[in-house]
Amino acid sequence: MFLGTHEPRLDEKGRLILPAKFREELSPGLVITKGQERCLYVFPASEFASITQSLKQAPVTAKGARDYMRVMYAGAHDEIPDRQGRITIPQSLRTYAALEKDCVVIGANTRVEIWDATSWNEYLADREKGFAEVSEEVFPGLF
């Protein structure tokens, strides 16, 4: 499980140092792809394989599933972190997520998300009020 918020910087070669607490789980390999809300999703390779197995169940006639899979897989990039825990984010994914220098890396349970710092702060400010107002109907019996 990935938890927490970290603020690494992207270097001039498009590399990002993964937070130390995420490195062990991601060291065998990972997949970076387009996420929703213009962030990047980073999955351990094994988790991405599980997602792929689940998506195989969707009928090829389901337009929404086809559209989602095309965007997700066309933007996907597999990577093995180097000894310093750095990953290279391809230019197309940096452009998609508006990543330039200041980034925010968050743990999001089974995945890591990479955000442009300004975008993350705007997203968080917009969503925190709704988070505070979540009622039991949204997650019945959870808390």
Q: What is the pLDDT of residues 103-118, one digit of tens each?
A: 999 999 999 999 999 9
φ, ψ of residue 67 in degrees (nearest 5): -60, -45
pLDDT-derived band at 141 (thresholds 50, 70, 90) equals: low
pTM above 0.75, yes or no: yes
Name all domains of the chain by residue range, CATH numbers in brackets: 5-132 (3.40.1550.20)
Q: Provide the token pair at 93.
A: 């994914």
Q: How many CB atoms lie within 10 A of CB 31?
A: 23
Give the residue carrying structure tokens 């996907």: 76
89 contacts 99 by C-beta, under 8 angstroms: yes
104 vs 15, 24, 72, 84, 127, CA distance in Å? 14, 19, 21, 18, 16
**What integer pLDDT is reported at residue 131 of this predicted model?**
78
Q: Residue 129 is encoded by which pair of tokens?
A: 């009020």
For residue 32, list its beta bridge partners.
42, 77
